Amino acid sequence: MKRIAPLAGWLIFLLLADDALLMEHWEAALVALAALTLVPAGLRLSGIDDGPVYYATAAMFCVAYLQYPGIYAPLWALPYTLLAAWLAMRETAAIATPGKWRLEDWMRWAALVYWATGAVWALSFLAGWRPLDFDAVIVGLTAAHFHVAGFVLTVIACCLLEASVAPPVVRPVALATLLGMPMVAAGITLTKLGYPTGIESAAATGFAVLAFAVAVLQIKLAFHNHFPRPARILWLIGACCLIAGAALAALYALRFYYPSEWANIPFMKRWHGTLNTAGFGLLSLWGWETARRVGR
């Protein structure tokens, strides 16, 4: 039920959503999917309760997108944003405790901070705020990226780090998740401010390499018989989706030097965004939950 009911809720969201919202802001549907399915799964894997309070805020968050661009839309999203911010602040206080400095702890902290950041950008989109005069689509996409490329990727990298059969190379990959999203965000911001586009291209390409490394590590685990077959199948399909999404991201990052007609935001949010959210994020998290449940 913890999987089926939220997914059914997202399908209902799609049925209720205005066609204009889905056509112009498909990223809104991806953020709603993340809030209903990816975030609670990631919280469970991080040892954080995803009880009724969370699902109530996530449901209101989805209502906010259904009401966009209504003036009350941001009010519906506020509880979700405040919950994410509170959990991030609580983890910040915990990480400051002496002895709480394992890499896994820093990664859990970073994942929650990424989630809270994504919630704030979603609230900004719904409220019509445009930081640095970014287009509304960019604001909405930033919310989606922090939910998936930030929160989900970091949670899964942490799971890989904690897996007993994970190869030694997973540690530098795990460390990179602490820096990847901030570097990409900085590169995009600098491009917006008029700095050379090479900074953004380098940061985004580097992040695509990081995502590819996570996918390869998960594929290796998928062929290890120590884990249950259902989990390994989910990991394998999820990792393949991530590889495809990372390839598209790398091509888009190099658009300044190798322009292509198809390498545009509408194409990327439809294909890259869906592959990463519904493919990599959902299936991989379900795989890790399955592995932990069967392994108990």
pLDDT for position 136: 93
In the Cβ-directed half-sphere of 97, how many Cα atoms lie within 13 Å?
Answer: 10
Burial tier of 15 (Cβ tally within 10 Å: 0-12, 13-18, 19+): exposed
Q: What sign has the CA pseudo-torsion 57, 11, 265, 209? A: positive
Number of neighbouring beta carbons within 10 Å of residue 66: 16
Q: Is the dihedral of CA 133, 180, 284, 49 positive or negative?
A: negative
Average pLDDT over residues 135-163: 95
Average pLDDT, the chain: 92
Domain range for residue 252? 4-295
pLDDT at 296: 47
Give the number of domains in the chain. 1
Report whether the peptide linkage leading into residue 196 is cis, meaning its omega lies within 30 degrees of zero.
Answer: no
Q: Which tokens is 226 given?
A: 């120590």
pLDDT at 293: 81
State the sign of the Cα–Cα–Cα–Cα dihedral 69, 70, 74, 79. Answer: negative
Instruction: Report the pLDDT averaged over residues 12-32.
Output: 95
DSSP letters spanning 74-124 = HHHHHHHHHHHHHHHHHHHHHHTSTT---HHHHHHHHHHHHHHHHHHHHHH
Query: d(Cα 154, Cα 120) in Å, to the nearest integer?
Result: 18
pLDDT of residue 125: 97
pLDDT for res 132 = 85
Tell me the average pLDDT across 257-272.
86
180: Cβ contacts below 8 Å, ≥ 6 apart:
149, 153, 206, 207, 210
In the chain, the percentage of residues whose pLDDT exceeds 70 is: 97
pTM (2 d.p.) = 0.94
